[in-house]
């Protein structure tokens, strides 16, 4: 069946560092891919999405490209801020919705 595998955390970075959170997927069809972010004590917010191969989703300085050849959707940001500290979930939608296990990011000043 479909699944999402996400980079284990926690991840700790200094402010202005480059961020990559890896996400790979397994799917039988042509899924849409998402990144959600969950700040402490809050619900999940849709960060970005891509609906077909080679699409690039972007929002708030974060980017991810739908790579069908490597079945990946890695999240990147060029310069993280303390306010980016949160848990990031990669997700896939096909006939069902699948979440990765989440990656906790802490950015220190």
Partner 1 sequence: DTEVTQTPKHLVMGMTNKKSLKCEQHMGHRAMYWYKQKAKKPPELMFVYSYEKLSINESVPSRFSPECPNSSLLNLHLHALQPEDSALYLCASSQDSREGLAQTYEQYFGPGTRLTVT
Give the interface with partner 1 as residue ranges (CB under 8 A): 32, 34, 36, 41-46, 49, 87, 89, 93-97, 99-102, 104
> What's the rounded Cα separation, in Å, for the pair 22 and 72?
8
CB of 26 to partner 1, least distance (A): 16
CB 18 within 8 A of CB 79: yes
CB of 21 to partner 1, least distance (A): 14
Q: Residue 68 or residue 78: which is nearer to partner 1 going by CB?
A: 68
| Cβ-based neighbours of 46, under 8 Å, separated by 6 or more | 34, 35, 36
């Amino acid at each position: 069946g479909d699944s999402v595998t996400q980079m284990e955390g926690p991840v700790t970075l200094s402010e202005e560092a480059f961020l990559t959170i890896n996400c790979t997927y397994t799917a039988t069809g042509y899924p849409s891919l998402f990144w959600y972010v969950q700040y402490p004590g809050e619900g999940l917010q849709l960060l970005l999405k891509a609906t077909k191969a080679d699409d690039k989703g972007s929002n708030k300085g974060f980017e991810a490209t739908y790579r069908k050849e490597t079945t990946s959707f890695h999240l990147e940001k060029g310069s993280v801020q303390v306010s980016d500290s949160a848990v990031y979930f990669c997700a896939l939608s096909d006939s069902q919705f699948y979440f990765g296990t989440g990656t906790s990011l802490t950015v220190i000043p």
